[in-house]
Structure 1
């Protein structure tokens, strides 16, 4: 254990969704603390995609009342990938609180793994701008401001509005209609107030919209901006179920406008969705 991290073990451990009690062996013994280097880390792949088989406790399943977001599976062959998914969920839900410092050994004990895959996952989150390294202590969750959120919304609008207007002119209505299950999934997650499930389905919906452009680089950049916009603000009030429901309703309205090729409504909905988004 690194110097300073031993002291962190005495600090009350943060709750991470679905994490087993200390000492749990939910992760296979041969995989504890190991990283499978054959894993393909695709920055453009949406993190909403579920594993094809039930993951260990480090990547918790949603509550029984939460909907599953329909999307192609992303195969993760490492403990680090599973830990990364769980940490991202904890960030969106606010269970990893802005400004707080978390020790890799303490989180690893919660997950039932060594500190190594936790530290590797945290390093990835540091590259994404979600956390920062605190020497000899661990990782601090970045405290974001309302201005940063507004800037992200502006950049997303500058990037996505022209693309969506172009697609609205060319993509046939039946192609948009195929995305209806994704819009319905966001509504189902919103109805039960599950912010983490809603965030996954929200990213899946926007990913599918932009994927129709055929521009993989665009999708990668947009997905990164979208993820950053979902991290909670340090002083923001809890997102209400009504906010999620209203946000989800905009997805269905957007699909209707796209199928009707109503360009002014498409532009208006996308801009309003970014500036007032709960996800």
Structure 2
């Protein structure tokens, strides 16, 4: 499985670039965690981070960590400063593999496709530099400068939760494409409308649901060594759709309960009148 190290720049006693009360280390961690979560949710990959809290981690510790774990790719997240505006990416300015170059192209274009048109972010281009984390890592690596903390327009975007969400997802999507990560199987929310020891009882529940416009199917499962017949009333990729179907099933169960009580009452009355004769 592809192993990726995500590196939120700065942290702890090293705030990075500063603008008023805003510090680079906080933005880099927020973005990096968003990238990790996106990759975790959508791809099959092993995700490691150089820090997940406001911890002090030296440059050497970052690259040593990636090298010791034999990572396949290294992603360093930073915020720019110096009065400019926009987004840019870097790879090492020495000898690098064709894969490193191609990955930068894919990630860069993917991110800009997400944040460029929607937020008007300027594309500052694909660049190369002699940064420690690019030079000392033994695997392909990229460093991203995500806007300028000391430019009002850029800072406003960095403070915007929707922008951070889209930026993180754009970076994650770009990494997924560049590394050809296999997608995770779609998660399905299954609605179970009953579990029975008797197949006949399960079929009765299945027929009742279908009579009330709810598609159902009987599936088997082994619970504590016992064969059970379960009635499944749908499988959905969206949780909200599954919850809506569950509400329909519960309404049907309420009707069944009322009908059952009504039948019992009628039977008792008939039994009473017969017994009186």
Q: When the two structures are superposed, what TM-score results if normalisation uses the length of structure 1?
A: 0.24
Question: Which protein has greater RCO, CA pairs closer than 8 Å, 6+ apart?
Answer: 1
Higher helix share: 1
Whichever of the two has the greater Rg, that structure is 2
